[in-house]
Amino acid sequence: MPSTTLPEPAADVPESAADAVFHGIVQGLAQQRFVPGQRLVEMDLAAQFGVSRASVREALQRLAAEGLVDLFRNKGAAIRTLSARETLEVLDVAERMTGLLARSAARAVAAGAPRAPIEDALARLHEADRSQDQDIFASARRALYRALLATSGSRELRRLLPSIHMPIVYAQHRPATLQQVRMRDYQAMCEAILKGDEVAADQAGMQHVRNVREAIEAALGKQERSAAQPPDGKRQPTPRQARR
The mean per-residue pLDDT over the stretch 232-244 comes to 51
DSSP string, 62-123: HHHHTTSEEEETTTEEEE----HHHHHHHHHHHHHHHHHHHHHHHHHHHTT--SHHHHHHHH
Buried b (16+ CB within 10 A) or exposed e, 104-134: bbbbbbeeebeeebbebbbbbbebbbeeeee
39 pLDDT band (50/70/90 cuts)?
very high
Specify the DSSP class assigned to residue 162: G
**What is the value of pTM for the model shown?**
0.77
| pLDDT, tens digit, 9 for 90 and up, residues 62-120 | 999 988 999 988 778 999 999 989 999 999 999 999 999 999 999 999 999 999 999 99
| pLDDT, tens digit, 9 for 90 and up, residues 167-222 | 899 888 876 677 788 899 999 999 999 999 999 999 999 999 999 999 888 888 87
